[in-house]
Amino acid sequence: RDLAQYGIRVCTIAPGLFLTPLMRTLPEPVQQSLAASIPFPQRLGKPEEFAELACHIVSNGHLNGEVIRLDGALRMAPR
């Protein structure tokens, strides 16, 4: 709200587990174990998926003041 008067929107992406260069340094069994902890889709996120969301945020002028989780429901409370 503080920046609305200047026409500035603020949105945040809260990423989960992504297949980044650092993640690729982990042993394959560790990567698989981390991917198995993600409810759906049961895999590590792709950097392109993060980029797609960032582009959508920029192109959608009505998004403002949001934190968007991009984590395959990893942080969703268990049943």
Question: Mean of the pLDDT values across residues 29-41?
Answer: 97
- Length of the chain (residues): 79
Find where tokens 């698989």 sit.
32
> Does position 1 have pLDDT exceeding 90, yes or no?
no
pLDDT at 17: 98
Amino acid at 70: L
Q: Prior bond to 15 cis, omega within 30?
A: no
pLDDT at 76: 79
Using the Cα atoms of residue 19, residue 44, residue 49 and residue 64 in order, give the sign of their dihedral.
negative
